[in-house]
Amino acid sequence: MDPETLTIGFARRMTAYKRAALILSDLEMLRKVNRRGKIQLIFAGKAQPDDGAGKQIIRDIFRTIETLKEEIKIVFLENYDMDLAAKMVAGVDVWLNTPTRPYEASGTSGMKAAHNGVVNFSVLDGWWIEGWIEGVTGWAIGPQPDEKLSEEEARFAELNDLYNKLYYIIVPMYYERKDEWFRLINNSIGMVAYYFNTHRMMRRYVTYAYL
C-alpha cells in the first residue's frame, strides 16, 4: 500500500445489510474516481458461520480485487480482531459506512475512527445522524433520514452520491486542498470524538437507566 494514496477503509461484520461491497457496485465509476486521483481500499471483517450471504460478499470482494488488480489497489485483511481494528481506524484516511437504512444499530467503528482523526463518509443511519455536519465533520451518502424512498430508490441515490462525492469533493480535497483536509481531521477529533465517547455513554447509562 502507498501511504501517500487516499485510503478508504471498511471493517465490520460481513453481512448483507452492511453492504460492504456497495462501493464496488459500478467499477467504471470507481475507475473514473481513481483517474481523478489515486485511491486504495482496505476491507476487513468476518461472516458468521451460517451467514451464506456474508460469505458471498467476501467472495465478491475477492473477485473485484482480481478484476482491478492492475488499476486500483484493494486488499481484504484476514482474521479481523481488535488489534487489526485498532490499526485500521488509525491508519486509513476515510472511514466508509454503507448500511441499508434503518438497520444500523449504532456504528461504533465510525466513532473510533473519528478519535483517530479519520474522516467519516457514511449513510445517514445510526450515530452518524447525530455526528454528521456536511463538509465539516465528514460527508453523508444518499438521502436524509426522513426521506421516504423504496430500497431501490435509496440505493440508486446512495450510489450516485457516493461516487460523485468521491470524484468531485473527497479526492480533489485530499490531493489539492490539504488545508481543508486537515480541518476535517481536526473536526473529527474536536467536534465528534469529544462527544461520542465512553464518558458520555456511562453518564447517560447512570442518569437515564440506573438512577
Q: What is the pLDDT along the chain (211 residues), one digit of tens a residue?
A: 999 999 999 999 999 999 999 999 999 999 999 999 999 999 999 999 999 999 999 999 999 999 999 999 999 999 999 999 999 999 999 999 999 998 888 888 999 999 999 999 999 999 999 999 999 999 999 999 889 899 899 999 999 999 999 999 999 999 999 999 999 999 999 999 888 888 888 888 899 888 7
* Torsion angle in degrees (nearest 10) through CA of 84, 86, 87, 89: 120
Is-above-0.85 flag for pTM?
yes
Q: Which of 41, 203, 189 is nearest to 119 (CA)?
A: 189
As a whole number of angstroms, the distance between CA 209 and CA 211 comes to 6
Task: State the residue for C-alpha cell 461484520.
Answer: 13
Q: Is 7 left (phi over 0), alpha (psi -120 to 50) or beta?
A: beta
Listed by start position, the domains of the chain span 6-210
- Residue 123, C-alpha cell as written in the block: 449513510
Report the side by side order of strands in the sheet with 6-11.
73-77, 39-44, 6-11, 94-97, 119-123, 138-141
As a whole number of angstroms, the distance between CA 36 and CA 56 comes to 30
Phi and psi for 149 in degrees, rounded to 5? Answer: -125, 150
* Torsion angle in degrees (nearest 10) through CA of 166, 172, 173, 174: 80
Architecture of domain 6-210: 3-Layer(aba) Sandwich (3.40)
